[in-house]
A = this chain, B = another copy of it.
């Protein structure tokens, strides 16, 4: 096991009918900015419930945070936070709203050029304060409700923004609030959580049976409940397990003390930025091809994944690995998430644009062994296109 730090102070409030607790969770004298995305939290009444449970507090609203939240949009909220002296941010929405809110929390008190906050990669932001925030999470997918990370879109790129000051103080996870989500978003959520786990699990062995078995348990649960929660959106138990899987997929536990490989995410980000492909779709496209091209690096863990997650026990090593890759791809497809880049609105000659974007954004040297070249990335994308 590698040395590691694990720290996650977010208070999770899980279950039905918990919104009334907002009145205790949000500081009594706070001036609150409630942030949300499109109209669905209004349409389905979640926003009204949130507002009514904030009682007599002074509350402002900021709607319109788009998927893959844009720096320019978020800066409008930053201006409001500054002008109105907001001292608590409440994100009501999915990963984009939560991520956007984290950026706003860090940027509002920041005295430098806010775009500089996008330049620190997976390193901690150089900040000493941020506005406290809470979330009412309405989409199980990104894990943003219980981690310190965010991704912000700017100038054709997607940038990680990490700070321990950005852990939500609390996150209310009511699975029944997610019943009204469109099927595509639920399917995307399953894939997003699944790939988050894979990026921390399918690398190389590091004597971490607790982390590995937890990762395998999360993957098996997603394989089980994914189809159920798509077919029966109001099945509370299936949706609860999806929500809880998505949270633990990316809250630090399974990634503690293990090597990680975020290649799929980094290439996927360029697909989203260039072509507007949904984040989870971009992962479903790239993930299987990363494994095909990096089998040698991941041999032992791919075999473990084949056996422990898919119960593949027949055939030689290569056959088992190929079967596990195929099963993964079929799982994504079975949820309605297409896994070939050619099935999206992208032409083969645009592969150059993707590779150029990776180069521009410094996306080389990735992977658990730090040796991903642009040439290998190109081969991965070419394989994913076919």
Residues of A in contact with B, size category: 35 or more
- The residue on B at minimum CB distance from A256 is B14
Contacts of A346 in B (CB 8 A): none
Say how far A89's CB is from chain B's closest CB, in angstroms.
19
Is A3 among interface residues, defined by CB-CB distance under 8 A? yes
Contact indicator per residue, chain A 247-272, by CB within 8 Å of chain B (1) or not (0): 01000010011000000000000000
Knowing A209-B221, A210-B218, A244-B210 touch, does A15 contact B7 (C-beta < 8 A)?
Answer: no
Is A217 among interface residues, defined by CB-CB distance under 8 A? yes
Is A82 among interface residues, defined by CB-CB distance under 8 A? no
Kindly report how many copies of this chain are found in the complex they form together: 2
Contacts of A221 in B (CB 8 A): 209-210, 213
Bound: A221/B209 CA distance, A:
6
Knowing A214-B214, A217-B214, A217-B216 touch, does A241 contact B209 (C-beta < 8 A)?
Answer: yes
Contacts of A217 in B (CB 8 A): 209-210, 212-214, 216-217
Bound: A58/B224 CA distance, A:
56
Q: Is the CB of B7 within 8 A of A11?
A: yes
Q: Is the CB of A210 within 8 A of B3?
A: no
Is A2 among interface residues, defined by CB-CB distance under 8 A? yes
Q: Is the CB of A213 within 8 A of B209?
A: no
Q: Is the CB of B207 within 8 A of A241?
A: yes
- The residue on B at minimum CB distance from A241 is B209
Bound: A352/B208 CA distance, A:
46
Bound: A217/B224 CA distance, A:
18
Is A225 among interface residues, defined by CB-CB distance under 8 A? yes
Say how far A385's CB is from chain B's closest CB, in angstroms.
35
Contact indicator per residue, chain A 80-95, by CB within 8 Å of chain B (1) or not (0): 0000000000000000
Q: Is the CB of A18 within 8 A of B6?
A: no
Bound: A212/B220 CA distance, A:
12
18 A-B contact pairs sorted by A residue (CB < 8 Å): A3-B18, A5-B11, A5-B14, A6-B14, A7-B10, A7-B12, A8-B8, A8-B9, A14-B256, A209-B224, A210-B218, A210-B241, A210-B245, A212-B217, A213-B213, A213-B214, A214-B214, A244-B257
